[in-house]
Amino acid sequence: MSIKIQFKLNGEEKNFYVKPNMTLLELIREKAHLTGTKHGCGNGECGACTIIMNGEPVRSCLILAVEADGKEIITIEGISPQNLTELQKAFIDEGAIQCGFCTPGFIMAGEALFKKTQKPSDDEIKESLSGHLCRCTGYEPIFNAFKKVAKK
């Protein structure tokens, strides 16, 4: 059984035929060929697959592709296609990227946070980072990048 779904992906209406047992993460990476969204744990624990669905950050590895029907989805490729965002620039300035695998997830969490509050407190920043794992940086530079944007 394949199901036809239609949704907005990074601003463009898209149609796909998907099997019910495909995850949204698989759809994004393997059918839409947007590989910025990463497959880390596949169990909701690492945050690498974070996307924004109807304005809220969610984990695409825990969502079925069919559930995207009628939704508006933004991936890392869609947040600012032309220029880097303030947060992306801050990641570079603060050395918050090493291997880069976790970065799209952190940036998506950050985009959602800064949309809600322009000047999040330290605790609010930590709270938004808390569900994201990074094996390289030790988190400090990532926190600093968030702080840098929060100060502006």
Partner 1 sequence: MFLPFDYQSPKSLKECLKLISENENAHILAGGTDLIVNIRSGKIIPQLVVDIKNISELSDIKKTDNYIEIGSLTTMNQITKSSLLKGAYYLLSYAASIMGCYEIRNRATIGGNIINASPGAETLNPLVVLSAKVVLESTSGQRILSIEEFVCGPNKTEIKKNELLTKILIPIVNEEADGVYMRRQRVKGMDLASVNCAIFITNKSDIKKRKIKISFGTVTPKPYRPIKVEQLLENNKITKNLILESVKIINSEINPRTTSLRASPEYKKFMIEYFLVEGLKKILGEINVN
Choose between 29 and 59: whose C-beta lies nearer to ligand FAD: 59
DSSP class of 55: T
Rounded-to-integer distance, Cα 73 and Cα 51, Å: 7
Choose between 26 and 94: whose C-beta lies nearer to partner 1: 26
Q: Judge whether 105 and 49 are in contact, CB under 8 Å.
A: yes
Q: Which tokens belong to 28?
A: 């994004």
Taking the complex as a whole, the smallest distance from the CB of residue 96 to ligand FAD amounts, in Å, to 23
Rounded-to-integer distance, Cα 121 and Cα 128, Å: 11
Taking the complex as a whole, the smallest distance from the CB of residue 83 to partner 1 amounts, in Å, to 26
Rounded-to-integer distance, Cα 38 and Cα 104, Å: 8
- Interface with partner 1: number of residues (CB under 8 A): 31
Asked whether position 42 contacts ligand FAD by CB under 6 A, the answer is no
Taking the complex as a whole, the smallest distance from the CB of residue 71 to ligand FAD amounts, in Å, to 17
Asked whether position 136 contacts partner 1 by CB under 8 A, the answer is no
Q: Which residue has the tokens 């968030």?
A: 146
Contacted by 134, from ligand FES, partner 1, ligand FAD, none: CB < 5 to 8 Å by type? ligand FES
Asked whether position 41 contacts ligand FES by CB under 6 A, the answer is yes
Residue 30 corresponds to which amino acid? E
Beta strand spans in the chain (E) = 3-9, 12-18, 50-53, 56-59, 72-74
Taking the complex as a whole, the smallest distance from the CB of residue 49 to ligand FAD amounts, in Å, to 11
Asked whether position 39 contacts partner 1 by CB under 8 A, the answer is no
Asked whether position 3 contacts partner 1 by CB under 8 A, the answer is yes
